[in-house]
Structure 1
Amino acid sequence: MAKSAKYLVVGSLEAYSGKSAVILGVAHQLQAQGLDIAYGKPLSGDIGNSEDEDEDIPFIPETLKLADDRVQPTVLNLNAERIAHRLGANDRPPYLAQLQQQCVAQEGDLVILEGPGSLDEGRLFDFSLGQMANAVGGTILLVARYHSILLLDNLLAAKQQLGDRLLGVVINDVPSKQWTTVTQQVKPFLEAQGIAVFGILPSSTLLRSVSVAELVHQLKAEVLCRADRLDLLVESLTIGAMNVNSALKYFRQGHNMAVVTGGDRTDLQLAALETSTQCLILTGHLSPTKEILARAEEMEIPILSVDLDTLTTVEIIDHAFGQVRLHEPIKVECVYEMSADHVDCDRLLKALRG
């Protein structure tokens, strides 16, 4: 193992906690301080969503402008077939040894490894978060999304499981109403328990937004107009199913919405186009009127048509909001700013150097 390189494994308690955002923000700050950063994602894939997961792998190295020799290849691509094979095999999985072999040749000041989606993911292959950190002689930074004060139980359990390998945590996605509780009660408590809190990141509607292009992909939608505006970002979802007067009042309260309504509800479609709507999603595979298409063209609002019912459409969009990607440049800039404002990288670097 290269003696000059330190290893930081960034993990989480649950999938989609914001590991990629924290890695980007921290790495960007440390690069600005002159550190030579390398990156790897040893375990990739999600049985339910492996295609999207794989698309994410080159994003961080490209964004950080890492040279090829500062990017470690993925060791294990997790999928149903590989799991089935593992269940029938008696030999010990070779993945930790492969990871160690990569680390022998790795140069740089700090190698950031993106860990699995939870503490135990990969354990079937002896490739869990703690096992990875042990294999490379690294420490662990946990990214924990704040749902409630019950996060404390999960972090205390993580500390017990990971022991001295746990360097500390970054608490992510803290709502403004909970900010005082987290900064004045949760953080001091964790610090007293020996769990360093290197950062507390506020909730961001921008970071949780989804591009219209991503909705097209997830919904397998047909784009009826303004295919040139699929880069628009959607921050909220609104369902148009009431009378038009109620709908207009409802729509006016929204911001950067995706409005889902029936393809036959011309009144609601017109109301949506007059408010802060980023895209109109028509269910039932019904075509809008020429008037609606003309108005949408004029307002530069894409109209999508889906061959789905409203409930299924809403479920798919909700799922998309829960698996937000950072690929838009405006999101990357937001991550950099939030990290600079809310993550203490000087303290983190000091802790890494021991």
Structure 2
Amino acid sequence: MILVKPSVYLAGLEYSGKTLIAYGLVKKLKQSGVNIGYFKPVAVARKKLEHKKPVDPDVLALKEALGVEFSEELLSPVVLSETYLDLQDEALGYRERIIKSYQELSARYDAMVVEGHQGPEALVTLGLSAPQVAKLIDSTLTLVIRCSSEPIIDRIVDRIVLYERFASSFDAKLFGVILNAVRFQDLERLREAIVPRIEALGVKVLGVVPESSSFFAPTVRDVAEALDARILTGDIGLDGLMEDVVVGAMGLEATTRWVRRATNAALVTSGDRTDVILQVLELRPSVVVLTENLYPSAQVLAKARVLGIPVLLVPHSTYEAVEMLKEAQRMIASMSLRVKERAILSALEKSLDWKSFASLLGI
């Protein structure tokens, strides 16, 4: 344990929304005049910078979006690959690196928001699981759960019991939980039955955030970057959000029916499906992704230009493009954080227990 400033450690499963919540917390508190910093002690490399140094793109995104001047190495001192079991001999060095970076960084701030990596139990074999690292830097452990990922809402209590006991096994305490992306139909059950059961465990519910697909949705600009696409037209629509994906391999009637049902849809099809593309453009999708480098007709480009709808050209097959779009929906970019900033802050302002966070962070 080391003596540092007050901090909250956000742990959660992959795609729980902890990065968005970390961003929202830091941004909101900065706007309120709090000198607060961001730290991600352990990350998984999913990108390389120009000098070939591996980095977590989420760290890059928050560094840029929050205007943080410190290096990626200081903000996230341990960056591992997804294969790590042979790194046991390096574990002590990793912990020392985390302590050194955290002491240096936290000295510049009055409070800290710390983001965990892929899951509370991940890297326990290296002594770098969420409760182990939270205890190492004396940070208050808080769990973020994406409730829409739970098919049975009551299982949230089981999951919290599991992680509370897991934390206790390392002499760490699970202080609180943020229930994120709660489906509308689950809100009443959650508030009346589940929240009281959680708090009876001694775990404080720090927020109930209703589900919003736009909360997680990437921008069309993010999609273009993820697909390494050529933008044929529609630059003015690049900051729009993409929430649903519709594959234009069906007939005209079936494709248009699915687009009507979708929200902020991306149509993925080959460029020679002129009849389908023209009809779908009338329905105002967020973006049209043309696969296998099949260039569209002049009529398609002219209509998309008039409507301000981006048309992207990619060399990938339709299947490959859809899989890449799924991955893009899980990624966070600094530009999309800025685009969605108002929506993120609005959701968190209404949903988080700010008095508890203020007390927790000593502000």
1:203 aligned partner: 211
2:99 aligned partner: 100
**Amino acid of the residue matched to residue 340 of structure 1?**
E
Kindly indicate whether residue 358 of structure 2 is the aligned counterpart of residue 349 of structure 1: yes
**Amino acid of the residue matched to residue 79 of structure 1?**
S
Structure 1 residue 65, shift from structure 2 partner: 4.9
2:127 aligned partner: 126
Asked whether the 8 Å contact 2:134–2:141 carries over to 1, the reply is: yes
Structure 1 CA distance for aligned equivalents of residues 33 and 129 of structure 2: 31
Aligned length: 347
1:335 aligned partner: 344
**Amino acid of the residue matched to residue 159 of structure 1?**
E
Structure 1 CA distance for aligned equivalents of residues 335 and 194 of structure 2: 31
Q: Deviations over 1:277-319 (max 9, x none)?
A: 1211122321111111111111111212222332222222122
1:292 aligned partner: 300
Kindly indicate whether residue 323 of structure 2 is the aligned counterpart of residue 312 of structure 1: no
SS of equivalent to 2:262: coil
1:152 aligned partner: 157
Asked whether the 8 Å contact 1:41–1:73 carries over to 2, the reply is: yes
**1:245 and 1:29, CA in 2 relative to 1: closer, same or farther beyond 3 A?**
closer
SS of equivalent to 2:122: coil
Structure 2 CA distance for aligned equivalents of residues 348 and 226 of structure 1: 42
2:75 aligned partner: 73
Structure 2 CA distance for aligned equivalents of residues 91 and 277 of structure 1: 49
Listed as ranges, the matches of 1:162-173 within 5 Å are 162-163=167-168, 164-173=172-181
Asked whether the 8 Å contact 2:288–2:310 carries over to 1, the reply is: yes
Structure 2 CA distance for aligned equivalents of residues 290 and 92 of structure 1: 59
344-353 or 113-122: which moved more? 344-353
Q: What is the percentage of aligned positions where both structures have the same residue?
A: 25
SS of equivalent to 1:277: coil
SS of equivalent to 2:178: strand
**1:139 and 1:230, CA in 2 relative to 1: closer, same or farther beyond 3 A?**
same
Which of 197, 205, 222 pairs up with 1:214?
Answer: 222
SS of equivalent to 1:113: strand
107-116 or 223-232: which moved more? 223-232
184-193 or 299-308: which moved more? 299-308
**Amino acid of the residue matched to residue 193 of structure 2?**
Q
**1:325 and 1:180, CA in 2 relative to 1: closer, same or farther beyond 3 A?**
farther
**1:144 and 1:84, CA in 2 relative to 1: closer, same or farther beyond 3 A?**
closer
SS of equivalent to 1:231: coil
1:174 aligned partner: 182
Structure 2 CA distance for aligned equivalents of residues 227 and 330 of structure 1: 15
Structure 1 residue 99, shift from structure 2 partner: 2.2
Structure 2 CA distance for aligned equivalents of residues 318 and 167 of structure 1: 33
Q: Deviations over 1:198-221 (max 9, x none)?
A: 001111122222222222222232
In structure 1, stretches of 5+ residues that fail to align are none
Structure 2 CA distance for aligned equivalents of residues 100 and 220 of structure 1: 38
2:52 aligned partner: none
Structure 1 residue 234, shift from structure 2 partner: 1.2
Kindly indicate whether residue 136 of structure 2 is the aligned counterpart of residue 143 of structure 1: no
Structure 2 CA distance for aligned equivalents of residues 310 and 92 of structure 1: 43
**1:2 and 1:311, CA in 2 relative to 1: closer, same or farther beyond 3 A?**
closer
Structure 1 CA distance for aligned equivalents of residues 347 and 86 of structure 2: 43
**Amino acid of the residue matched to residue 144 of structure 2?**
V
In structure 2, stretches of 5+ residues that fail to align are 50-54
TM-score normalised according to structure 1 size: 0.87
Asked whether the 8 Å contact 1:50–1:79 carries over to 2, the reply is: no
**1:256 and 1:85, CA in 2 relative to 1: closer, same or farther beyond 3 A?**
same
**1:39 and 1:204, CA in 2 relative to 1: closer, same or farther beyond 3 A?**
same
SS of equivalent to 1:285: coil
280-289 or 321-330: which moved more? 321-330
Q: Deviations over 1:58-97 (max 9, x none)?
A: 443554455659x94322111268x37626xx46531222
**1:189 and 1:98, CA in 2 relative to 1: closer, same or farther beyond 3 A?**
same
Structure 1 CA distance for aligned equivalents of residues 65 and 232 of structure 2: 32
Asked whether the 8 Å contact 2:26–2:37 carries over to 1, the reply is: no
TM-score normalised according to structure 2 size: 0.85
Structure 1 residue 171, shift from structure 2 partner: 0.8
**Amino acid of the residue matched to residue 113 of structure 1?**
V
